[in-house]
Amino acid sequence: MKELIVSSSPHAKDHRTVSTVMGCVLLALFPTAVGAVIFFKWKALLLMAVSIVSCVFFEYIYNVLAQKPQTLHDCSAIVTGLLLAFNLPSTAPFWLPVIGALFAIVVVKMLFGGLGKNVFNPAIAGRIFLFLSFSPLMSGKWTAPFDGISSATPLAYLKNASGELVTITDKFTVADCFLGNVGGCIGETSAALLLLGGIYLLYKRVITWHIPVSFIGTVAVVTLLLPRYGDISAWQYMQYHVFSGGLFLGAFFMATDYATSPITPMGRIIYGIGCGLITVFIRYFGGYPEGVSFAILLMNCFATYLDGKTIPKNFGGERRGIRIKKS
């Protein structure tokens, strides 16, 4: 008989690994990817492919140059690549995601120590890097789905940044915003497809409800109570804000990024509320029409701090549970 293996308990483990978790996220992003190809044709496909390949390539090259063990098996580079591509407009040139991937993977993720140790969400940081460096390419031209006619995003109309004196209802209906028949980044237009993916992630227990609900809920409540657009009702105004822009993409897929969000339930709720408030403030008072990515990037800084302040009460600790009366 060969020798027996001795190890610490537990001797049974869950089948879920980092790779399967990332696989679930990719599967949840699949409807949106299909939607992007239907809306923006081969341009979207090209951007996604270039982005994913360059993210994987840069992670590989970094590990080789830094003489570190390969980390490609965790599939997180593919998720980052896909999310980065979703944040690009369909008019972006194909070399743009390569630069974004270089920044996101090498600077934001690997130099901080790799998956789990990064402070900022790589895809978000990559998007903002491109946004600030190549503003005209990233926000100058938006095209409507299918026909490629240039069109502004609903949020730009809400902000009236386009300079035209048209009301938003002339351009888009709420259903347009929900289903995706609006201008915008390739992955953010269809709230319906993102919602399908988000429900899948919740069902598979990859993410918890805390961040998406508190994030979207905060945006909905603030825009409903304090609308800044007189021509339409507050109810409609709220719907436009919730269904347009990158809110669903951010709330379900980017703010819930494990490494850069709190791990305690209470911390996640506060984090989501913070994201929602900053998003609305930027949309209301900021220089840009859209604020989801800046909001998430800012709240990323507070993730570990929130953890420290919201450590759950231990079982049987003070002020929790049912006190019993001694009879």
Residues 29-48 that bind other proteins (CB under 8 A): 31, 35, 38-39
Residues 94-133 that bind other proteins (CB under 8 A): 113-117
Region near other proteins per CB under 8 A, out of 41-49, 125-133, 247-255, 313-321: 313-321
Cα-Cα-Cα-Cα torsion 271, 262, 86, 110, nearest 10 degrees, comes to 140
Minimum distance, C-beta of residue 256 to other proteins, in the bound complex (Å) = 10
Output 29 or 280, the one with its CB closest to other proteins: 29
Q: Does 236 bind other proteins (CB under 8 A)?
A: no
3-state secondary structure of 142: coil
Residues 189-218 that bind other proteins (CB under 8 A): 190, 192-193, 196, 199, 203, 208
Region near other proteins per CB under 8 A, out of 44-52, 241-249, 288-296, 312-320: 312-320
Q: Does 160 bind other proteins (CB under 8 A)?
A: no
Classify each residue of 154-183 as buried b or exposed e, where b means 16 or more C-beta atoms within 10 Å of its C-beta.
bbbbbbeeeeeeeebeebbbbebbbbbbbb
Contact 88, 249 (CB under 8 A): no
Minimum distance, C-beta of residue 5 to other proteins, in the bound complex (Å) = 5
Query: For residue 181, what are its two tokens?
Result: 């028949």
Residues 163-182 that bind other proteins (CB under 8 A): 170-173, 175-176, 179-181
Output 218 or 260, the one with its CB closest to other proteins: 260
Output 205 or 228, the one with its CB closest to other proteins: 205
Output 130 or 185, the one with its CB closest to other proteins: 185
Region near other proteins per CB under 8 A, out of 134-142, 159-167, 259-267, 276-284: 259-267
Q: Does 319 bind other proteins (CB under 8 A)?
A: no
Minimum distance, C-beta of residue 145 to other proteins, in the bound complex (Å) = 7
Number of residues that bind other proteins (CB under 8 A): 71
Output 128 or 303, the one with its CB closest to other proteins: 303
Q: Does 148 bind other proteins (CB under 8 A)?
A: no
Between CA 235 and CA 5 the distance in angstroms is 64
Q: Does 259 bind other proteins (CB under 8 A)?
A: yes
Query: For residue 78, what are its two tokens?
Result: 């593919």
Between CA 143 and CA 182 the distance in angstroms is 8
Contact 106, 118 (CB under 8 A): no
Q: Does 67 bind other proteins (CB under 8 A)?
A: no
Region near other proteins per CB under 8 A, out of 52-60, 155-163, 239-247, 256-264: 256-264
Q: Which of 24, 4, 1 is nearest to 203 (CA)?
A: 24
Q: Which of 222, 210, 206 is nearest to 267 (CA)?
A: 210
**Longest CA pairwise span in the chain (Å):** 85
Output 225 or 327, the one with its CB closest to other proteins: 327
Length of the chain: 327
Sign of CA dihedral 238, 240, 245, 247: positive
Peptide bond before residue 10 is cis, with ω within 30 degrees of 0:
yes
DSSP for 173-221 reads -HHHHHHT-S-SBTTTS-HHHHHHHHHHHHHTTSS-SHHHHHHHHHHHH
Sign of CA dihedral 312, 316, 318, 321: positive
Minimum distance, C-beta of residue 265 to other proteins, in the bound complex (Å) = 8
Q: Does 9 bind other proteins (CB under 8 A)?
A: yes
> Which of 60, 258, 281, 288 touches other proteins by CB under 8 A?
258
